[in-house]
Amino acid sequence: MFNKEGIPFFTVIIPFLSILFVSFFATSYHLKVTNEAFEANLQEYKKLYSKTETNKKTIKNIIESKTKEHKLYQKNFTDFMMVLTIAIIIFMALFSLLMISIISDVVKKYKQQVKTEEKKLQSLNKNLASKVAIGIEEGKRKDKAILQQSKLARMGSMISMIAHQWRQPLTELSGVLMELETATRFKKVTDKHILSSIERSDKMIEFMSNTIDDFRNFFKPDKKKEQFSILDSCQKAINLINASLDDSNIKLVVDVKNDKEINGYPTEYSQVILNLLMNARDILVEKRVENPQITITIDTKGILSIVELKDNAGGIKYEHFDLIFDPYFSTKDSSKGTGLGLYISKLIIERNMGGELSVSNDKEGAVFKIVLAG
């Protein structure tokens, strides 16, 4: 099919075969037609001269003369066709050589380009491993930086919630001290008053101490699965953020239709609820919603535990639905969020606990739904 230069043979052979076929066909056809015409003419001559007084010998001589002329014409035509065919063959041979030369140059240039690209590809393959290693290290550094930012944001949020939790007891402690100071100044302090103030102060200090323990235990990861109540786990998250919601004038409604105990990680589940509550709080504050409200509905359906958490902030934009659980995606300012909260929440519910975390919109706002098998 191909010669050593990679040129297809048919580009050379087909023109030759075509010319030879046409030449010999034309010659054969012409001779055939010429002989038939000559025989027809002879018959006409015989009929014509037979009607005249010309003798047979004369007719014979005329026919012989015409036959010689015809053979000479055939010979001349055959020679002409042979010369023409040879000339065409020579021309096509030269043309084919020219085409071979042109195609050969094109093929050589193409081969050179292929070799150049192969060398580039080999060079790229040699450097690919090092480039991949550099890319992985760079990705790890970025991930560490983002995770560190996430930890700092989480710590800032935790400190903010602790501050909200401590604000009321600190105010009450200040009031107790002011009462003691006033009573002392006016010489009206009594042992009963002092003991009562100490008792009240102890209770508030204990509450503040418990708050620290709650936060410390809350962010401590669970090591093994255990049976826990959905309502209790939700309540732990609510206790941590309740003061922050009150400070933002956000109403929290907890609708318990059916509680259920499931096997899983209670602290991680509480973290998911807290993260959803914090997101709802942030969007309600950001949009300055009138009469802001968050509703938590706890229900069961067969073996399934279903918790829905919704707000009245207007819902999530349609173009964000496919991205809402992606890592590092956030609609908040970079200083207020890293985009890891919902991603980690989905991992906890779906990978760690075999459930499902989804989101939708209703007429008032976003609805996050957690489904777990108990």
Mean pLDDT, 10 residues at a time, over the chain (374 residues)? 49 63 65 62 63 62 73 74 77 77 81 86 78 78 66 65 71 81 80 82 77 64 80 88 86 93 88 88 89 94 93 87 75 57 84 90 92 86
Structure confidence at residue 256 (pLDDT):
93
Cβ count near 357 (within 10 Å):
21
Sheet holding 366-373, edge to edge: 251-256, 293-301, 304-311, 366-373, 356-361
Cβ burial of 309 (10 Å; 0-12, 13-18, 19+) is buried
Q: Which residues contact 277 (CB under 8 A, 6 or more apart)?
A: 237, 238, 241, 245, 294, 309
Q: Which residues contact 241 (CB under 8 A, 6 or more apart)?
A: 161, 274, 277, 278, 281
Structure confidence at residue 230 (pLDDT):
93
pLDDT digits (tens, 9 = 90+) for 41-70: 666 666 666 655 556 666 677 677 777 777
Residue 95, token pair as written in the block: 């043309």
Q: Check: CB of residue 372 under 8 Å from CB of residue 353.
A: yes
pLDDT digits (tens, 9 = 90+) for 238-273: 888 888 888 889 999 999 999 999 988 888 898 889
Max CA distance (Å), the chain:
182
Residues present in the chain in total: 374
Report pTM: 0.52
Q: Check: CB of residue 25 under 8 Å from CB of residue 86.
A: no
Structure confidence at residue 6 (pLDDT):
46
Structure confidence at residue 244 (pLDDT):
82
Cβ burial of 161 (10 Å; 0-12, 13-18, 19+) is buried
Residue 257, CA distances (Å) to 227, 261, 273, 308, 310 in order: 20, 14, 17, 12, 16
Structure confidence at residue 172 (pLDDT):
76
Q: Check: CB of residue 336 under 8 Å from CB of residue 273.
A: no
Q: Label each residue of the chain as H, E or C.
A: CECCCCCECHHHHHHHHHHHHHHHHHHHHHHHHHHHHHHHHHHHHHHHHHCCCCCHHHHHHHHHHHHHHHHHHHHHHHHHHHHHHHHHHHHHHHHHHHHHHHHHHHHHHHHHHHHHHHHHHHHHHHHHHHHHHHHHHHHHHHHHHHHHHHHHHHHHHHHHHHHHHHHHHHHHHHHHHHHHHHHHHCCCCCHHHHHHHHHHHHHHHHHHHHHHHHHHHHCCCCCCCEEEEHHHHHHHHHHHHHHHHHHCCCEEEEEECCCCEEEECHHHHHHHHHHHHHHHHHHHHHHCCCCCEEEEEEEEECCEEEEEEEECCCCCCHHHCCCCCCCCCCCCCCCCCCCCHHHHHHHHHHHHCCCEEEEEECCCCEEEEEEEEC
Structure confidence at residue 5 (pLDDT):
47
